[in-house]
Amino acid sequence: MSLKIKNSRIILSNFSKISSNCSKRFYSSDESPYPTSKSKSGSTSTSGSKSSDKLTIPRQKTLHDIYKMYSKKEPISVITAHDYITGKFANDSDKIDIVLIGDSLSMVTMGYPNTLEMEFEEFYYSSKYILRGIDSKFVIIDLPFGYFENSLSKCIETSLKLMKLGKVNSIKLEGSFEYKDEIKRLIDIGIPVTGHIGLKPQRFNSLGGFKVQGKDTYSALKIYEEALFLQELGISLLVLECVPDKIAQYITDKLSIPTIGIGAGNGTSGQVLVQGDLLGMMNGKNAKFVKRYSNFYESGVNAINLYGEEVKFGKFPINGEQSYPIKDEEFENFIKLADKL
Q: Is 241 a catalytic residue?
A: yes
Which residues, 6+ apart, have CB-to-CB distance to 247 below 8 Å? 214, 220, 223, 224
Q: How many CA atoms lie within 13 A of 171 on its CB side?
A: 28
Contact 55, 29 (CB under 8 A): no
Q: Which of 207, 208, 209, 178 is nearest to 195 (CA)?
A: 178
Q: How many CA atoms lie within 13 A of 74 on its CB side?
A: 12
In whole angstroms, what is the distance from residue 241 CA to residue 271 CA? 10
Looking at 226, 232, 241, 330, which residue is catalytic? 241
Catalytic residues: 241
